[in-house]
Amino acid sequence: MNILILAAGTRNKIVQYFRNTVRDDGEVVATDSSKLGPAIYDADKYYIVPPITASGYLDVILSICKKEKIHGILSLIDPELSLLAANEEKFKAIGTTVIGSSYELCELALDKYRMYQWLASRGYNCARSWMERDKFYKEVKEGGITYPVFVKPAYGSASISISKVYDKETVDNLFTHEDNLMIQEFLNGQEIGADVYIDMLSGEVVSIFTKKKIHMRAGETDKAVSFKDPELFAFIEKFVLEAGFKGQIDIDIFRINGQYYISEINPRFGGGYPHAYESGCNHMELIWNNLNGRANRKHIGAYEEGIYMMKYNELKIIRK
């Protein structure tokens, strides 16, 4: 049984963990749009493919699935999640399972303003957001919101083009030079990351790992420490089941004045997932079980508290 990891990039650990899980029972195949994507060299095989926006990209991926007899496919970048989900039937027809959530949920997670509306309408604590500057300025004038705030694209990922803003002039300047921006309340509290696996067969939340973020770098968790809170586990499980996500998801959460706020959801492996794996939450094995037709038992919080993760740079050297 073989697995295909798309857009492997620099996510060497993810490829290595799948390789450790599959062992001699299959192969891990990886793709990237550049030969300088280091993670592809940790796979059994790799393919250099066009960018996902290129004409015929999907046909290239389908042909790899056929050639390599791929049983499960996943991507490590947000824009490609929707592409896979939208073409789930095409993959199913050749015996390949798309590992992830529905097209609707992948798109919802990408659309930050629509996700805010979804969360707010269902009573979840979240960062208040505005697409219209006038409504935001009215809130400021009435004392309902204060600076700083974040200005970010309403649709996007990877912390691209996010600005922390301290005054009206900067908000106006950003809105003048870029379209489809939103203003989001600055959440000032303990930032938390949750790595969650929802069984693709039973639909149950079977694994949750949570960490307090200590330091961030380039939008990803650089240093963190594991912790447990049954209240947080219940909060995450309620949200995930109500939304309907499947497979691996990554959730950004804040704790403010004793309450949990949902910030963002990424329906894929997050950059901080290695912390969960090294602490005992092997979600690759959960995926492998599902691909083999086995539902997983719930083991939420099956890890130790107080385990620290610290990222550091490594090198991959290849010879021409």
Residue ranges of domains in the chain: 2-99, 128-185, 189-310
Handedness of CA 165, 220, 265, 181 (dihedral sign): positive
- CA-wise closest residue to 243 among 128, 109, 113: 109
| pLDDT for 215 | 86
> What mean pLDDT is reported for the chain?
95
Q: If you average pLDDT over residues 294-314, what whole number do you get?
A: 94
- Asked if 52 contacts 81 with a C-beta cutoff of 8 angstroms, the reply is no
| pLDDT for 159 | 57
The class (CATH top level) of 2-99 is alpha beta
- Cβ-in-10-Å burial (0-12, 13-18, 19+) of 160 comes to exposed
- Asked if 8 contacts 17 with a C-beta cutoff of 8 angstroms, the reply is no
Q: How many C-beta atoms lie closer than 10 Å to residue 70's C-beta? A: 23
Establish whether domains 128-185 and 189-310 are of one fold: no
Q: If you average pLDDT over residues 15-37, what whole number do you get?
A: 97
The CATH code that applies to domain 189-310 is 3.30.470.20
What is the phi/psi pair of residue 299, to 5°?
A: -145, 60
| pLDDT for 160 | 64
Contacts for 200 with CB less than 8 Å, ≥ 6 apart: 97, 99, 246, 247, 287, 290
Cis peptide before 230 (omega within 30 of 0): no
* Backbone Cα Rg of the chain: 20
DSSP state of 155: B
| pLDDT for 118 | 98
Contacts for 163 with CB less than 8 Å, ≥ 6 apart: 150, 151, 152, 170, 174
Task: Indicate the residue type of 258.
Answer: G
Pick the CATH number of 128-185 from 2.40.110.20, 3.40.50.12240, 3.30.1490.20, 3.30.565.10: 3.30.1490.20
Q: How far apart are CA 69 and CA 57, in angstroms?
A: 18
Antiparallel, parallel or unpaired: β 28-32 and 2-6:
parallel
With cut-offs at 50, 70 and 90, classify the pLDDT of residue 217.
confident
**pTM for the structure as a whole:** 0.94
